[in-house]
């Protein structure tokens, strides 16, 4: 579909989606208290809490950036693509598991797509974004690039990626699996892990330690909130660090 034609379709598309989203909101079950807690936590505190509780990094590489901004938290649904010869990377296969992942994801989940050595191709564009929005996904995290930014902005679907390119995976990459552990932005993400994202970056929380990490991140946020008045009073961060043993 050529770009100018896509823009002509955007108003009608937005109207159709709005009706679907209203219906979806009425049917949305009560939110998981754990996810609700992570939505209130700061990204930096979650990253620090994973360091302290898990003993390994949970934050993704610095180039995992919000090309469509938004803060969200949700459980990961994954898809993986690998380099393939043109006869294997046909249209039906190049995005097979990515599309299946989105089509089978539940409201509030986070789509995580990894393309091995795929920074020069887009893992998703406007059509997959429309599907993700219609399914009620909280956002998308791509260890690859993204395209069709204008369409995605119109959808207001948060998308974190490692770059922007106009290229396709067709003839270059083939989809190999969904619902499997993937290496995304320097960390391992398993289906069901909690992904927390915002303008500071993206953090993965192992699902088996999620309650501990949330509790620690809340403690960190609470302590830092208490530190601010002391900094203003003493006009010395060093003195406050000594009082709170925290920086």
- Quote the pLDDT of residue 166: 97
Are 159 and 152 in contact by the 8 Å Cβ rule? The answer is yes
Using pLDDT thresholds of 50, 70 and 90, give the confidence band for residue 15.
low
Q: Which of 167, 118, 168, 125 is nearest to 150 (CA)?
A: 125
CATH number for the region 3-206 comes to 3.50.30.40
How many alpha carbons fall within 13 Å on the CB side of residue 59? Answer: 18
Calculate helix-pair angle for 43-54, 210-234, nearest 10 degrees: 120
pLDDT score recorded for residue 226: 65
pLDDT of res. 186: 97
Mean pLDDT of 157-165: 98
Give pLDDT tens digits for 184-197: 999 999 999 999 99
Query: Does residue 246 have a pLDDT over 50?
Result: yes
114 contact partners, CB below 8 Å, separation of at least 6 = 78, 79, 80, 81, 123, 142, 143, 144, 182, 183, 184
Structure confidence at residue 5 as a pLDDT band (50, 70, 90): very low
- pLDDT of 67-81, one tens digit each? 999 999 999 999 999
Q: Residues 44, 157: contact at Cβ < 8 Å?
A: no
The pLDDT tens digits for 195-213 are 999 999 999 999 999 999 9
Average pLDDT over the chain reads: 88
Q: What is the mean pLDDT of the segment spanning 49-60?
A: 97
Q: Return phi, psi of residue 205, to 5°.
A: -115, 120
């Amino acid at each position: 579909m050529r770009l100018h034609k896509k823009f002509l379709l955007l108003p009608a598309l937005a109207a159709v989606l709005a009706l679907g989203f209203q219906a979806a909101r009425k049917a949305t079950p009560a939110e998981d208290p754990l996810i609700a807690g992570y939505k209130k936590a700061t990204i930096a505190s979650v990253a620090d809490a994973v360091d302290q509780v898990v003993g390994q990094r949970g934050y993704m590489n610095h180039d995992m950036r919000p090309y469509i901004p938004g803060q969200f938290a949700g459980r990961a649904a994954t898809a993986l693509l690998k380099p393939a010869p043109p006869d294997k990377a046909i249209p039906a296969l190049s995005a097979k598991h990515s599309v299946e992942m989105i089509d089978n994801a539940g409201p509030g989940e986070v789509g995580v797509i990894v393309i091995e050595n795929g920074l020069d191709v887009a893992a998703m564009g406007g059509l997959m974004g429309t599907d993700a929005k219609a399914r009620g996904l909280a956002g998308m995290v791509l260890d690859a690039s993204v395209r069709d930014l204008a369409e995605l902005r119109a959808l207001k679907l948060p998308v974190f990626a490692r770059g922007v390119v106009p290229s396709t995976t067709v003839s270059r990459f083939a989809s190999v699996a969904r619902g499997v552990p993937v290496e995304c932005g320097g960390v391992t993400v398993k289906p069901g892990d909690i992904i927390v994202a915002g303008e500071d970056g993206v953090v993965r929380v192992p699902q088996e330690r999620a309650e501990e990490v949330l509790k620690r991140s809340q403690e960190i946020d609470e302590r830092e909130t208490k530190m601010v008045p002391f900094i203003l009073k003493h006009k010395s961060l060093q003195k406050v660090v000594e009082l709170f043993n925290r920086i």
